[in-house]
Amino acid sequence: MAAVPSLPDPSLALDFCGLSFASPIVLLSGCVGFGEEYTRVEGFSNRDAGAIVLKGTTAKPRLGNPPHRVYETPDGMINAIGLQNPGVDHVIRRILPTLDFDETRFIANVCGSTIDEYVEVTRRFDDSPIDAMEINISCPNVKEGGVQFGNYPEMSARVVAACRKATKKPLITKLSPNQTDIRENARQCIEAGSDALAVINTIAGMAVDVATRRPVIGNLQGGVSGPAIKPIALLMVRKVYEVAGPQRVPIIGQGGIVSASDALEFLIAGATAVGVGTGLFYDPLLCPKINTGITSYLHAAGFASVSKLTGSLIAGAAGDCD
């Protein structure tokens, strides 16, 4: 009796805005520094991720917010770092030359307090080896710029349009969940020239020290991340997919992913790739575990590649809830 040939392993590789990702995992901005922090962890490899988003970068160096800047919450954390960074000049001249662009893709995270600053940082990264840029218009832990730009579709579109003129590299707009209609924001950002969307940024929140009756976070508020926000992020991805999917605009789905099952939910809901951030603080070696779990699922479900999962949600409830 002839042996039944074994099926080839499903592919985790995908195309994202013309860039080849070896895995659907994207390491999120602020969680791995400028790509070097986790290289000190034994067993960690940049090759386990399709792309790494570098720490948010402004035109000039920033010291960030006063302490406390990080606070653990049930199933997550609040951070209010305040975009501390050494400035775009230092990043380009001193940091980018140390990165191995053969290992993975590197995406700059562009930040600013004015449209002119966004344009300046975008222009500087355009003349660098960076593979793509993420426009951070939705950071909830700075007192100027980000929140105002990210929560209003017209302002978001103005930033995107200005940055679009400053670069030919792929632009990814990071959308805020702290707004009325994320679909309208997504639509206007796409029309303004965004090549992809990152959904979602952290959700604004705070914590109180009851002993002192003072805010725990020095900035009063910060961005809530981790498993606690996953259901919200998942719904936002689906809503944005309704706008972006028909236009074939890829989405990085992110918010509380700490397992392969979490990642699969985002892919099925409409994400092309999945962002892992706070989960790395729980488990620095999370990425290969997620890759293995996705591969196993693709095998069992008969999918030849991870890209076939994107937007494969079947309409209707999974079962009777009565």
**Cα angle 101, 251, 193; round to 5:** 85
Strand partners, 21: 14
Residue 186 domain flag: yes
Kindly report the average pLDDT of the chain as a whole number.
92
Encode pLDDT of 116-161 as tens digits: 999 999 999 999 999 999 999 876 545 555 556 778 899 999 999 9
Instruction: For residue 180, tell me if it sits in a domain.
Output: yes
**Domain contains 141:** yes
pLDDT at residue number 40: 77
139 included as an active-site residue: yes
In this structure, are residues 228 and 193 in contact, taking their beta carbons and an 8 Å threshold?
Answer: no
Strand partners, 26: 51, 275
pLDDT by residue (tens digit) across 175-204?
999 888 999 999 999 999 999 999 999 999
Q: Is residue 240 part of a domain?
A: yes
- Domain-embedded: residue 123: yes
For residue 22, tell me if it sits in a domain.
Answer: yes
Q: What is the pLDDT of residues 2-27, one digit of tens each?
A: 544 566 789 999 999 999 999 999 99
CATH, residue 167 = 3.20.20.70
> In the structure encoding, which two tokens stand for residue 89, read together?
């000049």
- The total domain count for the chain is 1
Q: DSSP letter string over 242-260?
A: HHHGGGT--EEEESS--SH
Asked if residue 7 is part of any domain, the answer here is no
Domain of 80, in residue numbers: 14-309
241 lies in some domain: yes
What is the pLDDT averaged over residues 80-98? 96
> Which is catalytic among the residues 31, 139, 189, 287?
139
